[in-house]
Structure 1
Amino acid sequence: MAVELYDDHEQGERVRSWINEYGASIVVGLVLAFGGIFGFKYWQGQQEAARLLASEYYSVIQSELSEGRIDFAQEQFDAMKEASGRSAYVGLASLLMAGAYVDDGRLEPAAELYRDVLNNDRLASLHGAASLRLARILQAQGDIGGALAQLEGGAPSGFQGAWAEARGDFFMVRGQLDQARLAYQEAMDNLTGQGIGRSLLQIKIDSTGPAAAEDAS
C-alpha cells in the first residue's frame, strides 16, 4: 500500500490550507454549540427563578386568606399573574382565591376565576376540580341548566363519583327524580370505602322515592 509522505513544510501548508477552508465554519459551530449550552442553562435558571417567585406568591396568598384578608390576597394574586403568569402556581392560586370568594358569598368573581382555569390548556390537571366547583356555583345562582351542561360528557379520572352526585343534586332541584336516582346510584358505584359519604348518598337515593323495579311490582 502506498503511503503519501510530506516534509514539515508541506504538512504545514496543508494544515493552513485546511484551516483556511474549514476553520471559520468550525469556529462558528463551536460558538453556536457553546452558545446553545449557555443559553439553555440561562433559560433553566430563569424558569427556576420564576417557579420560586410564584411559590413565594402562593405562600403569601395562602397566609393572607387564612387571616381573612381577601382583598390583599387578590392584590398579591394580580402581582403573581403579572410576574409568573405561565406558572402552574397561578392555577392553584386561582382555586384558592375562588374558594375564598365563595366563602365570602361573592359567587361571580369565583365563577370567573374557575372559567379562567378552564380556558387555560396548561392547567388541564385542574379542570376537573374547576368544572365541578363552577357547576356548584351555577346551581347556587339558580342556573341548573348551566350547571348540568358544565358536567356534560365523561368525568375526568377521580371525579366520577363527585360528578355523578352533583348531577343527582341538580336533577333533584328540577324534580327529575328518576334521573337523580340514577345519578346517585352511579355516584355510589364509584364511591370507595364506607363512612358518612356512603350513608349520605344512600339518604339521597332513598329521597328519590321507590325504585322503578319496586313500582313495577
Structure 2
Amino acid sequence: MAYDLEEQEKIDALKAWWERYGTLSMALAFVVLAAFAGWRGWQWYQSHQATQAMGYYEALEAATAQPGDDAVTRIKAASTALRDDYAGSGYAARGVLVAAAALEARKDLDGAREQLEWLVRDESASALRAVARLRLAGVLLAQKQYEPALAQLQGTPPSGFAGLYADRRGDVLAAQGLHDQAVDAWKEALKSLQGDPAAQIVQLKIDALNGA
C-alpha cells in the first residue's frame, strides 16, 4: 500500500518513538499490571483470612455455650488457631477474651490465665490489653497469686480504667489482709467511678471492711 508523504512521516515518527521508548513502555505496562494483580491478590488474601478467622471465632462462641470437657477442648483449639494463624485479624484478641471468660466460668483458672497472658503480651490490641490485665489480675487473685496480680495493676492505668484498676487493687490488698491499704485503694476508685453504678459496690466493700 502506498502512503503519501505526510502519512509516511507519521509512520516513521511512530517507528522512531517505538524504537526509543517501546521497551520502556512495555516494562512500565507490565509493572502496572503486576502491581494491580498483586493488589487484587492481597485483597483476596485479606478477605479470605478474615472469613477464616470469623469461622474460628464463631466456632469458639458456639463451644462456650456447650457443656462438658469436649467443649473446653474446642474452646482451646479455636482460640489457639486464632492466636497462631490469625493474630492480626481482630478476632484473635476478642476470641481470647471470650475463651478466658468461658474457662474461668468452668473453674479452669490455669487455662484462663494462659489466654489472658497471651493477650497482655499482644501489643497490637492496646484497648483489649487493658481489659486483659484487669481480668488477669482477677484470675491471679483467685489463685492467691497476690504479687503477680498487683503487678498487672501497677503503673498509670489506661484511659478509662483508673477506677476499675484501683478497685481490683483493693480486692487484692484486702485478700492479703492489708485492710487500710485496701480501703485507700477503694477510695481512690470511688473518685474515678463517680456516677458509675460500680461505685456503689465499691462503697459496700469499704463499709463491710470498716465494719469487720
Assess, with a 3 A threshold, how the Cα gap between structure 1 residues 120 and 28 changes in structure 2: closer, same or farther. same
Aligned 8 A contact 1:155 1:163 in 2: yes
* Match of residue 72 from structure 2: 70
Aligned 8 A contact 2:87 2:93 in 1: no
User: Percent of aligned positions with the same letter in both sequences?
Assistant: 28
TM-score where L is the length of structure 1 = 0.84
Assess, with a 3 A threshold, how the Cα gap between structure 1 residues 192 and 31 changes in structure 2: closer, same or farther. farther
Q: What is the aligned counterpart of 2:119 among 92, 103, 117?
A: 117
Provide, for residues 40-62 of structure 1, a one-character-per-residue CA deviation record: whole Å limited to 9, x for no partner: 12211211121122112211211
Deviation at residue 131 of structure 1 after TM alignment: 0.4
RMSD: 2.1
Which moved further from structure 2: 70-79 or 98-107?
Answer: 70-79
SS at match of 1:62: helix
Aligned 8 A contact 1:164 1:187 in 2: yes
| Structure 1 position 163 matched with structure 2 position 165 | yes
| Structure 1 position 107 matched with structure 2 position 106 | no
Letter in 2 for 1:189: K
Letter in 1 for 2:136: L
Structure 1 residue runs without a partner (length 5+): 1-5, 211-217
* Match of residue 21 from structure 1: 20
Provide, for residues 87-106 of structure 1, a one-character-per-residue CA deviation record: whole Å limited to 9, x for no partner: 21111111111112211222
For 1:180 and 1:16, locate their aligned partners in 2 and report how far apart those are by CA, in whole Å.
Answer: 88
For 2:151 and 2:81, locate their aligned partners in 1 and report how far apart those are by CA, in whole Å.
Answer: 33
* Match of residue 200 from structure 1: 201
Assess, with a 3 A threshold, how the Cα gap between structure 1 residues 177 and 83 changes in structure 2: closer, same or farther. closer
Letter in 2 for 1:19: W
Give the paired residue count: 204
Structure 2 residue runs without a partner (length 5+): none
Which moved further from structure 2: 10-19 or 126-135?
Answer: 10-19
Deviation at residue 113 of structure 1 after TM alignment: 1.1
For 1:75 and 1:143, locate their aligned partners in 2 and report how far apart those are by CA, in whole Å.
Answer: 27
Deviation at residue 192 of structure 1 after TM alignment: 4.7
Letter in 1 for 2:146: I
TM-score where L is the length of structure 2 = 0.86
For 2:148 and 2:85, locate their aligned partners in 1 and report how far apart those are by CA, in whole Å.
Answer: 34
* Match of residue 213 from structure 1: none
Deviation at residue 194 of structure 1 after TM alignment: 5.4
Provide, for residues 149-192 of structure 1, a one-character-per-residue CA deviation record: whole Å limited to 9, x for no partner: 11111111222211110011112223333332221112112215
